[in-house]
Amino acid sequence: MAAFITNRPARLADTPVITSGSAYASGQSIGGLREIARAQVGPLHLIAQSLIIADASAQNLPIDVFLFYDQPSGGSTITDKSAISLAAADKLLCIGVVSVVDWKAEGIGQALNLALPVEIDNGKSLWSAMVARGTPTFGSTSALTLQLDLLKGRL
């Protein structure tokens, strides 16, 4: 379930249900489309500061994380273990793509100092989609946890 956020700093975490024991291909969605936060009051003006991925299987392969300020629904395909396909209208909902390429041996990937503006209208949600950029094989259906740190932006 998505967390509720207000106009203050927040740390959001999400553990998607993923496929285990079978390799993902590069370009496939990991866990499908995920609602990671719902604006309780808005609009919210936040800044994504960092994105951390904890990988219990320690695959340590690059993952792109697409962030959307509203739910993509214009004919896009974002389902677990399928090639991601974004419809033209849904591309306009994308706030940015965070590439997590800095991995530590212990299975922690990080993208730091993002300074990515995030604006969410009242009643809207922040959505994410992880995309494999390698061929990972995860050891459990809950092997990945995404953590997004947001700072308060302009008033």
> What radius of gyration, in Å, describes the C-alpha atoms of the chain?
15
Q: How far apart are CA 6 and CA 39, in angstroms?
A: 6
Higher pLDDT, 82 or 70: 82
Q: Name the average pLDDT for the chain.
A: 90
Please determine, for residue 80, whether its predicted confidence score (pLDDT) is greater than 60.
yes
- Kind of pairing between the strands at 29-39 and 125-132: antiparallel
Residue 7 above 60 pLDDT?
Answer: no
pTM of the model: 0.90
Q: Per 3-state DSSP, what percentage of the chain is helix, strand, and coil (rounded to 5)?
A: 5, 50, 45
- Encode pLDDT of 131-152 as tens digits: 999 999 999 999 999 999 988 7
Q: Mean of the pLDDT values across residues 31-43?
A: 79
Above 90 in pLDDT, residue 107? yes
